[in-house]
Amino acid sequence: MPDINQTREYTMQDKTGQKIPQVTFPVRHNFDWHKWTTDELFTNKTVAVFSLPGAFTPTCSSSHLPRYDQLAPALKANGIDEVYCVSVNDTFVMNAWADDLKVKNVKMLPDGAGEFTQGMGMLVDKSEIGFGKRSWRYSMIVKNGVIEKMFIEEEKPGDPFGVSDADTMLKHLNAEAKAPESIVIISKATCPFCKKAKEMLDAKGMDYEEIVIGKDATHVTTRALTGGAGVPQIFIDGKHIGGSSDLAEHLK
């Protein structure tokens, strides 16, 4: 990967205690144009904001945005009202990215002109890799428009990603908070045991992703992962649980 850490226009400063920049985000929402102001987005709310270099880029797509989307309910259970993703991209790119990743819990704020990012002092020059001006990676907690806490990535070569992640923010809010488990079920549309397994997970309020044989994959997937072709196959936090009866035992 090319080095995305280029010469900065501003020195990265912790702005804890200061007000956020007052800007308007032009947003394409439900096929119409809207203007979202920072006043309406932040007033009388406690908001988790994370900002990143660009939509569809590797770390942003594989880790930063998806994990915030997954942990948004846990963040909200610990005092956060809304979760916002900021990037120096236009609204069409941000919407397409959210659709591609099936984002459900994060509101996308397109800072296409870089006004919010510049106001935060986080605008950086990535022209050498064709990006132009983009945001440095950081996150923050904003209460009623005032920055309560910032997590700014270290200024070093590469694309550092160690403190602006969702897990760090959750632990800051509540050191005892438990992140939801990552669950995948490999299923088949006509399988009654698959239906039973999903019902068990739903009854426990456990979110999961489903890989459907014949649609998303073939039985080669289950053979490669488990050595067998039967479904359902459930995986939780990297551990192979097994079929529906194994899941029932695990949930006890």
DSSP notation for 10-38: S-----TTSBPP--EEEEEETTEEEEEEH
CB 185 within 8 A of CB 201: yes
Q: What Cα–Cα distance (Å) separates residue 112 from each residue in 12, 148, 216?
A: 20, 25, 34
Please pick, among 60, 85, 191, 194, the residue that the annotation labels catalytic.
Answer: 60
Q: pLDDT tens per residue, the chain (252 residues)?
A: 333 344 444 458 999 999 999 999 999 998 999 999 999 999 999 999 999 999 999 999 999 999 999 999 999 999 999 999 999 999 999 999 999 999 999 999 999 999 999 999 999 999 888 899 999 999 999 999 999 999 999 988 778 999 999 999 999 999 999 999 999 999 999 999 999 999 999 999 999 999 999 999 999 999 999 998 899 999 999 999 999 999 999 999
Q: In this predicted structure, what is the pLDDT of residue 229?
A: 84
Amino acid at 208: Y
Predicted pLDDT of residue 11: 59
Bridge partners (DSSP) of residue 28 are 33
Q: What local confidence, expressed as pLDDT, does residue 1 receive?
A: 33
- Rounded Cα gap, residues 66 and 50, in angstroms: 12
Q: Give the right CATH number for 183-251 from 3.40.50.1820, 1.20.120.1760, 3.40.710.10, 3.40.30.10.
A: 3.40.30.10
Please give the class, per CATH, of domain 24-173.
Answer: alpha beta
CA dist 37 to 22, 41, 116, 145, Å? 7, 6, 11, 11
Residues of the chain with CATH 3.40.30.10: 24-173, 183-251
HSE-up (13 A, CA, CB side) for residue 210: 18
Tokens (6 digits) for 65: 């945005």
Across the strands, what pairs with 108? 85
3-state helix, strand, coil in the chain (%, to 5): 30, 25, 40
* Residue 224: φ, ψ to 5°: -65, -35
- In the residue annotation, 194 being an active-site residue is answered as no
- Report the pLDDT value the prediction gives residue 154, as an integer from 0 to 100: 94
Sign of the alpha-carbon torsion through 162, 166, 170, 173 = positive
